[in-house]
Structure 1
Amino acid sequence: MKYMLLIYSNENAWTESEREKCFAESAELTHELNAKGQFLAAAPLHPVSAATNVKVREGKRLVTDGPFAETREQLGGYFLIDAENLDEAIDIAGRIPGARKGTVEIRPVLEIAGVALKS
């Protein structure tokens, strides 16, 4: 089953050296998962100050800058994995460096016929 592991943390809680170490550890984890056939994708995100939001209301598009809502933790990146079950996904999520300063949300991916993930 495919799982999206969404990494949330306060982006101001990381020093630049901690962030670089996190990226390096995350890259190591992606190589390990890839060797086991479990890695599908992963990427860090730019800060929320670079975000753009789009809403469509009554047929009109509204585009705004920045985060949707003020929160203490922001979505900072993700891993997309293939795991045997939720327990295995939990084990992998616990190895993501971002879990040490934030939260990793695990969501099963709903697979829809005709919508394929790029392999």
Structure 2
Amino acid sequence: MKYLMLVCAEEDLTFTVEEEADLARRTQRWVAEMDSRGVRLHGSRLQPAEGATTVRVRDGAVLVADGPCAETKEHVAGYDLLECADLQEAIEVASKHPAASFGAIEVRAFWQS
């Protein structure tokens, strides 16, 4: 079953140089482990939410706004596409992501038709 894992964190979160290097190493290890297990199909960091563009169509008019579609303290900082046996495995994979220790990981199953 496919899941989208959204990596969320506070936009203004800052790290020391040492913390940033440690986070990068831990993230690389997580990616390597999940790639070797075959559960991570793809993933990437995202540019800051301030660079987002929100598009809506209302009464046939295209409305474009700068910024994310929701005003929240935490923003989507990255994503990973997972293929897991079930939700339990997806939760286990998400819980190992380094960002789970300072942000939040949202796991959502793809719609099955």
Pair in the same fold by TM > 0.5:
yes
What is the total number of aligned residue pairs between the two structures? 112
Map 1:15-54; keep pairs closer than 5 Å: 15=15, 17=17, 18-54=19-55
Which of structure 1's runs of 4+ aligned residues deviate more than 4 A? none
Cα shift readout 1:85-116 (whole Å, capped 9, x = no counterpart):
1111111101111111111111011255xxxx
Runs of 5+ consecutive residues of structure 1 not aligned to the other structure: 113-119
Give % identity: 35
Shift of 1:45: 0.7
Shift of 1:34: 1.5
TM-score by length of 2: 0.87
Distance change in 2, residues 1:111/1:24 (3 Å) = farther
Letter in 2 for 1:58: D
Root-mean-square deviation over aligned CA pairs: 1.7
Distance 1:94 1:65 in 2: 32
TM-score by length of 1: 0.83
Runs of 5+ consecutive residues of structure 2 not aligned to the other structure: none
Distance change in 2, residues 1:16/1:48 (3 Å) = farther
